[in-house]
Structure 1
Amino acid sequence: MGKHHDKDFKIYAARLVLEEGRKPRELAEELNISIPTLRNWINIYKETNEVGSADSSNGFSGLSLKEEKDKIIKDLQEENEILKKAMHIFIKQPK
């Protein structure tokens, strides 16, 4: 059974190819996904943009690539802070 990636990750990967000119073969290898999977995400992203719909139901966030990266970084930083706090709670509990 294959991995399931969230919509934000798929959009991010498609944008790397379409907006930054990354080569699908290299990016697919880097992200550990198949080339056909990446090409499918790119086609879906293209179709979504042609329609011009920027609502959350289709997964397109309407953010630029830089904004998307910043959002991902911010989310990861928040997750790390939560994990750090949880780690301290577990360390302090007596065995």
Structure 2
Amino acid sequence: MSKNYDKTFKVQTVQMIQEEGKLVSQVARELGISANTLYRWVAEHNQDGKQAFPGSGNLKPEEQATRELHKRIRDLEEENDILKKAIHYFAKDRH
């Protein structure tokens, strides 16, 4: 069973490693968290900064924007298909 840690806890843990100079293995033992998990948190924090750890079910802003763009593309493709069928229908009706 995995535990869920909130953003504040993760940021404070990463700061212990990066700013206080504690070893990942030491922090892992102290907190009872696997070292691999801590390495992942540090990497995510280094990559995404303040956007790291958005929380369960939440997306980072760039992921949300990508999702919205993909939805918009699907909607436009569907509208195009409908318009093509309508053009074909009305063109056939004229002959």
TM-score by length of 2: 0.51
Cα separation, partners in 2 of 1:41 and 1:58, compared to 1, 3 Å: closer
Please state if 1:11 is matched with 2:14.
no
Whole-Å separation in 1 of the counterparts to 2:52 and 2:24: 22
Corresponding residue for 1:40?
A: 40
Structure 1, unmatched stretches of 5+, are: 61-95
Provide the residue aligned with 1:29 in structure 2. Answer: 29
User: For residues 40 and 59 of structure 1, what CA distance do their matches in structure 2 show?
Assistant: 11
Identity %: 31
Work out the number of aligned pairs and report it.
54
Q: 1:37 to 1:59 in 2, by over 3 A?
A: closer
- Rounded to whole Å, the distance in 2 between the matches of 1:33 and 1:12 is 14
Greater relative contact order (Cα 8 A, min sep 6): structure 1 or 2? 1
Gaps of 5+ in 2: 55-95
Q: Which amino acid aligns with 1:27?
A: V
Computing the radius of gyration from Cα coordinates, the structure with the larger value is 2
CA contact (8 A) 2:44 2:52 kept: no
CA-based RMSD of the aligned residues comes to 1.8
